[in-house]
Structure 1
Amino acid sequence: MMETILNHRSIRKYTSEKVSSEVLEEILNAGIRASTTGNMQVYSVVVTQDDSNKEKLAPCHFNQPMIKGAPVVLTFCADYNRFNKWCEQSNAKPGYDNFLSFVTGAIDALLVAQNVCIAAESKGLGICYLGTTTYTADKIIDVLNLPKGVVPVTTVTLGYPDESPELVDRLPLEGVVHYESYKDYSKEDIKKIYSEKEQLPENIGFVKENKKESLAQVFTDIRYKKQDNIVFSKILLDVLTKQGFMNNEE
């Protein structure tokens, strides 16, 4: 299992081989064994395998080719719809129409997603996370017919790899781990932590290609711009309101 985790690669190209229902069910069963707040399991997973449905999902993920190329697309959702109905049918009054509850459901969904990914990779499958899910949550809700109380949190494509990319760089352990309490970073610390990433040939190429002064500027000015973050934040906040997670009244 450690070897599986340490050799994780994002796979964006898949063979035409289908994922059997038996393998998929085994992977999903591993997913739902993840930790969950209060054992409430306030999440759902929507499995998309039909080509016409993947076609509908593709624009929600900026038409990244792996949506239509992967045999399986999994959308992980924070879901209080099911839990609320159970409470109401059991003469219990649910109080989960607030932001904290959404965060709880989102954490649950992400824990399940990571379990699914590790289980899939251990079976020889490839996966790729798509961060676009929260950008276009409103559109995904429509495509997947998600009722009130359900919000998509992340998407994972799944299939047998048709590529073997190199391992992607990660920051050194000392750059992300703090013992006992948080130790803030000095300028020298920051320089040391990011030096290897900045010196990678592909990253030097990104800087030149985008005509920027530094790799950091590629992130702030090209990949994850403030303007985009504001726009997508507004969309997500509107989604949370529409889906019933922004009630601040007692």
Structure 2
Amino acid sequence: MPGFKKQTFMKSVLFKHRSIRKFRPTPIPEEVLRECLEAASRASTCGNMQLYSLVVTRDETLRERLAPCHFNQPMVRQAPCVVTVCADIHRFTMWCEQRDADPAYDNFAWFLNASTDALLAAQNLCVEAEMHGLGICYLGTTIYTAGDISQILELPKGVIPLTTVVLGYPDESPELTDRLPLEAVVHYEKYTDYTAAEIDELWAEREESELTKRLLAENGLPNLAQVFTQRRYVRKDNLAISESYFALLKEKGFFNN
């Protein structure tokens, strides 16, 4: 593909990203899946250490076991490929120890480095997948049930799930999801805090959308912010998830030092 056409195609993929939640049962060809995984392995990484692992689950029985960890969302069973993205200091630690080098990566700083590596790899995986005509969806439920996922996938100490990506050929074509204006997320030179009026302006289009009106009617609430705080991500759940994930971090050895 000539350079200009390739750049145009790449921009089209990035600007037209959709989360796909309905998939055809068509298997992903081995060569396509391998290219996606190779793209993931080319992501930027701390010290070229590649502190992540991608657990690729295609076995139907295993996907069935993983489904409850993702609140039984149908796409976990529908999609032919489920990739659990993990922060992984285990492999690099083993390499160091086998060479009489003293690793010091069992701490929170290196959980953050490994998380960055893992999520960069995940995004490379997703972009490459979409370039091949595949659909993807990130599953935030991974954080909620990371302990159960760790047991099912037999993750050793030093390896912890961060997110999950379902991959497959789309069986739907949803509308693009709206985004906040660029001015909401970009700060030039230094962080410029928002005024109350600016916050109102940045969320105005989303708050006035037909989707928001439907959500308010369905939930019987006066505004979208309360849908988030009272229905989607409520305080008691947030605290419980934080506590369980923090406990798993300790169990997996990320707080030894």
Q: TM-score range by the shorter chain?
A: over 0.9
| Post-superposition offset of 1:207 | 1.1
2:184 is equivalent to residue 145 of structure 1: no
Percent of residue pairs bearing the same amino acid type: 55
Match of 1:54 in 2: 63
* Distance (whole Å) between structure 2 residues aligned to residue 163 and residue 92 of structure 1: 51
2:102 is equivalent to residue 93 of structure 1: yes
Match of 1:26 in 2: 35
| Post-superposition offset of 1:87 | 0.2
From 72, 78, 101, the counterpart of 2:87: 78
1:97-140 deviations in whole A, cap 9, x for unaligned?
11111111111000000000000001100000000111111000
Secondary structure of the structure 1 residue equivalent to 2:18: coil
2:179 is equivalent to residue 170 of structure 1: yes
Amino acid at match of 1:188: A
Secondary structure of the structure 1 residue equivalent to 2:144: coil
* Distance (whole Å) between structure 2 residues aligned to residue 94 and residue 187 of structure 1: 48
Q: TM-score, normalising length from structure 1?
A: 0.98
Secondary structure of the structure 1 residue equivalent to 2:38: helix
* Distance (whole Å) between structure 2 residues aligned to residue 93 and residue 33 of structure 1: 27
Match of 1:135 in 2: 144
| Post-superposition offset of 1:70 | 0.2
Match of 2:216 in 1: 207
Secondary structure of the structure 2 residue equivalent to 1:93: coil
2:72 is equivalent to residue 63 of structure 1: yes
| Post-superposition offset of 1:247 | 2.0
Secondary structure of the structure 1 residue equivalent to 2:53: strand
**What is the Cα-based RMSD across aligned positions, in Å?**
0.6
* Distance (whole Å) between structure 1 residues aligned to residue 121 and residue 18 of structure 2: 19
* Distance (whole Å) between structure 2 residues aligned to residue 37 and residue 130 of structure 1: 24
Count how many residue pairs are aligned between Structure 1 and Structure 2.
248
Query: Unaligned stretches of 5+ in structure 2?
Result: 1-9
* Distance (whole Å) between structure 1 residues aligned to residue 132 and residue 110 of structure 2: 33
* Distance (whole Å) between structure 1 residues aligned to residue 256 and residue 108 of structure 2: 8
* Distance (whole Å) between structure 2 residues aligned to residue 95 and residue 83 of structure 1: 11
Query: Unaligned stretches of 5+ in structure 1?
Result: none
Which structure 1 residue ranges, 4+ long, deviate > 6 Å from structure 2? none
* Distance (whole Å) between structure 1 residues aligned to residue 123 and residue 224 of structure 2: 28
| Post-superposition offset of 1:181 | 0.4
Secondary structure of the structure 2 residue equivalent to 1:15: coil
* Distance (whole Å) between structure 2 residues aligned to residue 25 and residue 191 of structure 1: 45
